[in-house]
Amino acid sequence: MCGIVGYVGPRNAAEIILEGLRRLEYRGYDSAGIAVVRDGEIEVRRDVGKLSNLARCLDEQPVEGNIGVGHTRWATHGKPSERNAHPHADSEGQLVVVQNGIVENFRELRAELEAEGIEFRSDTDTEVIAHLIGLYYHGDASLEAAVRQAMAQLRGPSAIVALSKREPGILVTARLGNAGGVAVGYGEGEMFIASDMPAILEHTRRMVFLESRQMAVVSQDGAAFSTLEGKPLQPKLHNISWDPVSAAKGEYKHFMQKEIFEQANSLTDTIRGRVDLGRGEVYLEQVTLTQRQAQDLTQLVSVACGTSFHSELVGAFMFERLARLPVRVEYASEFRYREPVLDDKTLMLAITQSGETVDTLAAMEEGRAHGSHLVSIVNVIGSAAARVSDSVVYMHTGPEIGVASTKAFTASLVDQYLLAVHLGALRGTLPVDERRRLLDDLARLPDLVGRLLDPANVPMYERLAQTFFHYTNFLYLGRGINFPIALEGALKLKEISYIHAEGYPAGEMKHGPIALIDENMPVVVVAPQDRVYDKMISQVEQVRARGGIVIAVADEDDDFIATKAQHVIRIPKASELLSPVLTVVPLQLLAYYVAVRRGADVDQPRNLAKSVTVE
């Protein structure tokens, strides 16, 4: 989810590029850089951290020039640092490249290039592209031809912009797969390139959008488009009417809506490059636990807050069943006030989207103090939690902007599933054919989630919202691995619509909450056809017998539940361990559309912050 801005024209490229990168700030990033060509030389300025660091760098060492490219990085390979910041140059310094996406075969390509004597200066996959282009950019070869040849060797989604000092009048941009967009903007006597429209909307509203396997040579006077195979193209020129902020959300009204609907893609990114279905292997390159350490483990202690805590409650089922590890799941904010029994045979898991939640960091310190192996599941690369951990599994969902966590939650479920399979392999509790089956189930998951996110389902949620938006109390019930989903569904509703909602283990109804049931207390039940289905049905009957209203989340082929519940939201079947990834999506959508119907501030609910960095 990196940000790219390019410019060629009569004005100062660095100023226009820096302003454009600022407009992509919502995408989140951990480093930034700019390259400009002037008097036949390429000048680069890069810095780690916020864009203000790069701006200060440019103030101290300004770069003049009329053509340039800039980049804000959301690290996927190589930690956030100046050396890993884009742009990256080829070995002879004749060109620079910025990239959005992932070069899946960068290890092999890097090995081949190093065998040719090329020395790498960063840990990024992007640098491979710069050297590849440099390899072909010799003699009378054009930059366009060199880019074309380099792109032909890449696997995985990539969007790039290249700039050379030999051809200082052009930028060459190319797109492979769906790694963030490439917009080519037409100005008056100047041209722009951007990964996202907001970066250049103030300069132009006339844009061409590259599709996968397309490229463009952009000069001050216009652009020439072609396929990566070299076939000329005349793509459609769009007139954009959106304002910058709404453009950042694309066709969505809120970031939360966008993040809910992009979960099929974000889960694909979470899984990408981490499973070998044929061999039944999981690759978690930053999990350093040795086989001996894994076999010696006596317990797993999970610590987190809020939605991340709910994710860990689901994960407990995965680690107990697949890795045969006793699991304790603790509220991080409570954990530190106990005398926790931890030692060097404890694996401590911390899930934290932001990586900066102070209660979670404090609980991790307890683990560190007792010599436990710290593994964290984090979205923000290089954040505090990642830095203090022995092992890290990144969520790879791209920045999550909406305060209410959605795609990070489903990513953390998948990351725990991957970690549990990996631990099972290390501890010998999961034979390879069982691992293959588990990973086959996982490989199907993004498609199943995609079916849940079909826009054709939206009218149903809008009708449910219209029916229920005025209620003031909700009860959510789940059992077994879907009890935590009842908690999560209730949290989603309460934090964005301000309706009081309570998640409860279904089996606990008869021990108190059933006294609440009447026609003013809608009850959401999570009831896939798993081992506790029959018990859930009896809960539904108990609620109905007291005049309650039931909204059931149920399997698409379950005809029976519709005879019991007044409202049914259908989900595709999945394995029990992965069913929470599916059952949570309808609850995210229900909360979203109820909040919208109530006119709530969905992305920035009152009193809340995206990352709670204070106690």
Give me the residues that bind ligand AGP (CB under 6 A), please: 305-308, 352-354, 357, 360, 403-405, 495, 611-612
- Smallest gap from residue 603 Cβ to ligand AGP (A): 11
User: CA 266 from chain center: how many Å?
Assistant: 5
- Indicate the residue among 266 and 354 with the shorter CB distance to ligand AGP: 354
Backbone angles phi, psi at 41, to 5 degrees: -125, 150
- Smallest gap from residue 591 Cβ to ligand AGP (A): 10
Residue of 439, 497, 492, 491 whose CA lies nearest to 465: 497
476 CB neighbour count, 10 Å cutoff: 27
Q: Is 2 a catalytic residue?
A: yes
- Indicate the residue among 200 and 301 with the shorter CB distance to ligand AGP: 301
Q: Which H or E element spans position 399?
A: none
Q: Which residue is nearest to ligand AGP (CB)?
A: 306
- Smallest gap from residue 267 Cβ to ligand AGP (A): 17
Backbone angles phi, psi at 25, to 5 degrees: -60, -30
- Indicate the residue among 54 and 351 with the shorter CB distance to ligand AGP: 351
- Indicate the residue among 308 and 346 with the shorter CB distance to ligand AGP: 308
- Indicate the residue among 57 and 75 with the shorter CB distance to ligand AGP: 75
**Helix, coil or strand: residue 436:** helix
**CA pair distance 169, 201, nearest whole angstrom:** 23
Q: Which H or E element spans position 502?
A: strand 500-505
73 strand-pairing partners:
31
Backbone angles phi, psi at 207, to 5 degrees: -140, 150
Q: Is 610 a catalytic residue?
A: yes
**CA pair distance 230, 226, nearest whole angstrom:** 6
Task: Measure Cα distances from 611 to 129, 481, 614 in Å.
Answer: 35, 27, 9
User: CA 103 from chain center: how many Å?
Assistant: 17
- Smallest gap from residue 144 Cβ to ligand AGP (A): 44
50, 79, 573, 610: the catalytic one is: 610
| Angle of helix 579-597 versus helix 483-497 axis, rounded to 10 | 20
**CA pair distance 14, 64, nearest whole angstrom:** 7
- Smallest gap from residue 446 Cβ to ligand AGP (A): 22
- Smallest gap from residue 483 Cβ to ligand AGP (A): 17
Residue of 467, 484, 463, 487 whose CA lies nearest to 475: 487
**CA pair distance 603, 29, nearest whole angstrom:** 19
- Smallest gap from residue 252 Cβ to ligand AGP (A): 18
Q: Are 189 and 2 in contact (CB under 8 A)?
A: no
2, 305, 492, 564: the catalytic one is: 2
- Indicate the residue among 16 and 490 with the shorter CB distance to ligand AGP: 490
- Indicate the residue among 135 and 404 with the shorter CB distance to ligand AGP: 404
DSSP state of 346: E
- Indicate the residue among 80 and 134 with the shorter CB distance to ligand AGP: 80
Q: In what order do the strands lie in the sheet with 206-209?
A: 41-48, 31-38, 67-73, 3-8, 191-194, 183-186, 206-209, 238-239
Backbone angles phi, psi at 54, to 5 degrees: -65, -40
Give me the amino acid identity at 462.
Answer: E
389-393: Cβ within 8 A, 24+ apart: 389/350, 389/364, 390/288, 390/289, 391/284, 391/286, 391/287, 391/288, 391/289, 392/286, 392/287, 393/284, 393/286, 393/287, 393/418, 393/419
- Indicate the residue among 48 and 378 with the shorter CB distance to ligand AGP: 378
**Helix, coil or strand: residue 525:** strand
Cis before 62? omega within 30: no
- Smallest gap from residue 262 Cβ to ligand AGP (A): 16
- Smallest gap from residue 305 Cβ to ligand AGP (A): 4
Q: Are 195 and 182 in contact (CB under 8 A)?
A: yes
- Indicate the residue among 263 and 308 with the shorter CB distance to ligand AGP: 308
- Smallest gap from residue 610 Cβ to ligand AGP (A): 7
User: Would you please indicate which residues are annotated as catalytic (active-site) residues?
Assistant: 2, 610
